[in-house]
Structure 1
């Protein structure tokens, strides 16, 4: 039986559950066990834990690692609430999501000390939040009993996670160090960090000519379910070959992501405009812009990472319909969302009530964006949206009312804000401060 104080837990954001990064079936298990309110509270706790951990341990704020960290934090927070509600012990087997990112952490050269510290930092943060809730919702002996139970359970969580993380990390690290991919990643990381790498050694280890024009891509799995790593490599290679690349380099980054480059001799590589080979379901690909020599190898890769960051936040297209994220199309969104918190504030400042919730407001935003894209042509927008000309005129007028300003005022900023909303959706509309799903490693790019 769920205790009274747990039943009273609820998120600040009523849509918190829908913003979970766990797979819907997995989340549904927790909602069934503890209810929507406590589940939403746990999702927010997990998100806040992830933000706090990356602030305290910037070594974990790397693309690909930070979203796995948030997924693990959410699973732990939900597992904790479930254990408290069921009066059961917490077991690591209940939260396998914690270990999904271990292979990527190892391949990126992040040490075990950072992972173990993350457990302790997250534990301290979570204890503070849970005990605060106990104090607010309970009194007298009930409060004392609940707090004692929380402390006992969370000490057990730390003990089990620490032991299992050390064991898992050691096993993955041993396998990684014995692989050929480890040697390639070492050279690639040195190049990306701007270190001097002897050209003959780089060519020998990578089997790839760094003097050509390069097109970089990042392929990843958008579902935490196990993915055959060869599927990601296959998708990256198919796209590079379709782009005209005759030479390729693929480096796995853990089990759920690959970095890849391609180059051509006769002509610079470029993404195909049609007949692009679509990967299997669950695979997403981001691409940079073609660029020459060693600098191009780096630049195209960093652009692909930025496009991947946008892709992981993107809610602008129907789920499952968007699989390719081209930096050439997303450069503006990538730059404007480099700091998601500032992008969110910019959107709300420029759109006012037009950034509000609800389907009707979203329809008005979409119409205004189309109207501006069509150079303020009512006929052009009506044709694209398949509505009457007068409907477009009415919605544009309504947009001005909601915004509180005419659309000609700060026109460029207005269109930029609408572009951010179209691509990123709730990531820039929600007033709740959330971590970027794919924080770029800001220190990895060398100054030139």
Structure 2
């Protein structure tokens, strides 16, 4: 969740082992909090929660690993959640409760680690240091988070965006909303055919709501939208919809376009009416979940390509087993396997044309033939059977998920 450069700097300081422990600790913190406070487990908030937990966990582990003096200043990433919740009907009490839950979870896990790995003679000093580190960070988190939330909430309740977001949330929750009333409030016709986008920035430095909204507007207009609705969701994310007055579907952006520096985009399938407005948005959120898990530099996550993976990603262990079972050795993470998957996808997308694949990938026809043969070998030769050939053909547009 945190920028890789930031994580890598800490790896250089304290080593990969402590950093890996911090990432695991952060995931546990996040799962624990969202189980106890479901209001924080929704799009836009759960990602900020995870990012904040990672920042806190890395600060804790760094202080413990370096036996450093504690600087009672919470990481900036741990405070962004307070801004994000201001417009999402989540009270400050939930934020403060989340800090308590994170504190309790971290104490329990770190004390368990001390008991497992330290001799009895060293445990008292270790426990004292753990308490010192956690108390300093948590104490400041309470004060800073309360201050950030109060400032953001005061600005939010006086904005027109608050009224629009409340109505949109009613639509997304399936509550009855009169289309003519929605049109007056939103300036957007819910009876049309909609394509939903979610545009977000992974890095706080790129978190400019105006820039994200401009990106969403540009992509929707380029796809033929004559009407757009764009709502900021905190500082690092916007929700957007586009529709055409002619009733035609807005063409979603394609990954062949110019990559957007520091910005990622998820897109749902076009769908009609009030129900379609909500459906396309929920599909875009599913694509966001895949995007947040991605370790690649891709910027576009289209539900049309990622629907199966989006469904499987709700059970990540099962999804990984599915990929390994279907692709065998072709599921490897190295560059050779990635090249073979890319070639195979292109080959299937071009109706198994060696010449078309060679032209698109700018390689020789014999190179394509060799790669396809090698891909079959890595999969255990299963693509030779009729049944698996059909499955590969059916899954060709989804095979990009193996590189997510």
TM range (shorter): 0.7 to 0.9
The DSSP-based 3-state class of the residue aligned with 2:241 is: strand
Residues in 2 aligned to 1:223 and 1:111: alpha-carbon distance in whole angstroms: 25
Which residue number corresponds to residue 95 of structure 2?
A: 115
Q: 1:275 to 1:325 in 2, by over 3 A?
A: closer
Which residue number corresponds to residue 62 of structure 2?
A: 82
Q: Which gives a bigger RCO, structure 1 or 2 (Cα 8 Å, sep 6+)?
A: 1
Which residue number corresponds to residue 360 of structure 1?
A: 336
Q: 1:406 to 1:81 in 2, by over 3 A?
A: same
Which residue number corresponds to residue 173 of structure 2?
A: 193
> Is 1:340 equivalent to 2:320 in the alignment?
no
Which residue number corresponds to residue 210 of structure 1?
A: 190
Q: CA deviation at 1:252?
A: 1.0
Residues in 2 aligned to 1:276 and 1:29: alpha-carbon distance in whole angstroms: 32
Contact 2:196 2:284 in 1 (8 A): yes
> Is 1:69 equivalent to 2:46 in the alignment?
no
> Is 1:247 equivalent to 2:223 in the alignment?
no
Residues in 2 aligned to 1:277 and 1:23: alpha-carbon distance in whole angstroms: 24
Q: What 5-or-longer segments of structure 1 have no aligned partner?
A: 1-20, 428-448
The DSSP-based 3-state class of the residue aligned with 1:197 is: coil
Equivalent residue for 1:298, pick from 275, 278, 286: 278
TM-score (norm 1): 0.78
Which residue number corresponds to residue 23 of structure 1?
A: 3
Deviates more, 1:24-33 or 1:144-153: 24-33
Q: CA deviation at 1:330?
A: 3.8
Residues in 1 aligned to 2:88 and 2:39: alpha-carbon distance in whole angstroms: 10
- Superposed, which structure 2 residues align to 1:132-147 within 5 Å? 132-147=112-127
Q: CA deviation at 1:381?
A: 4.6
Q: CA deviation at 1:235?
A: 1.4
Contact 1:239 1:276 in 2 (8 A): no
TM-score (norm 2): 0.86
RMSD after superposition = 3.2
1:172-229 deviation digits (Å, cap 9, x = unpaired): 2222112111111101101111112244542332222322333322221132325221
Which residue number corresponds to residue 290 of structure 2?
A: 310
Which residue number corresponds to residue 284 of structure 1?
A: 264
Q: 1:419 to 1:143 in 2, by over 3 A?
A: farther
Q: CA deviation at 1:389?
A: 5.3
The DSSP-based 3-state class of the residue aligned with 2:382 is: coil
Residues in 2 aligned to 1:290 and 1:362: alpha-carbon distance in whole angstroms: 30
Q: 1:355 to 1:260 in 2, by over 3 A?
A: closer
Which residue number corresponds to residue 349 of structure 1?
A: 325
Contact 1:239 1:277 in 2 (8 A): no
Q: 1:324 to 1:392 in 2, by over 3 A?
A: closer
- Superposed, which structure 2 residues align to 1:376-391 within 5 Å? 376=352, 381-387=357-363, 391=367
Which residue number corresponds to residue 265 of structure 1?
A: 245
The DSSP-based 3-state class of the residue aligned with 2:205 is: coil
Residues in 2 aligned to 1:361 and 1:351: alpha-carbon distance in whole angstroms: 10
Residues in 1 aligned to 2:99 and 2:182: alpha-carbon distance in whole angstroms: 37
Equivalent residue for 1:163, pick from 140, 143, 163: 143
1:29-54 deviation digits (Å, cap 9, x = unpaired): 32233223222222222233223332
Deviates more, 1:115-124 or 1:373-382: 373-382
> Is 1:238 equivalent to 2:218 in the alignment?
yes
Deviates more, 1:185-194 or 1:248-257: 248-257
Residues in 2 aligned to 1:301 and 1:399: alpha-carbon distance in whole angstroms: 36
- Superposed, which structure 2 residues align to 1:31-50 within 5 Å? 31-50=11-30
The DSSP-based 3-state class of the residue aligned with 2:248 is: coil
Contact 1:219 1:259 in 2 (8 A): yes
Deviates more, 1:271-280 or 1:171-180: 271-280
The DSSP-based 3-state class of the residue aligned with 1:101 is: helix
The DSSP-based 3-state class of the residue aligned with 2:197 is: strand
Q: What 5-or-longer segments of structure 2 have no aligned partner?
A: none
Residues in 1 aligned to 2:53 and 2:167: alpha-carbon distance in whole angstroms: 32
Residues in 1 aligned to 2:257 and 2:356: alpha-carbon distance in whole angstroms: 32
Deviates more, 1:179-188 or 1:49-58: 49-58
